Structure 1
Amino acid sequence: RRQERDRFVESVFRAVGLPLLRARARHAYNVVEVAALVEGVLGAEAPQPAPSTAAPAEGADLDAVLEGTAQDDDAPPACPKCGSPMVLRTARRGPSAGSTFWGCPNYPRCRGVVR
Structure 2
Amino acid sequence: MDAATDTSESRPDTAGGTAPGVEEIDRISLAQALQDFEVANARVMDLTSRLTTTHRDLVATRSELEKLKLRNGVLRKHNRRLQREVKQLNDSRAVRSAQAATRAVQKARKKLGK
Q: TM-score range by the shorter chain?
A: under 0.3
- Structure with bigger helix share is 2
Is the radius of gyration larger for structure 1 or structure 2?
2
TM-score normalised according to structure 1 size: 0.20
- Which structure is higher in RCO with an 8 Å CA cutoff and minimum separation 6? 1
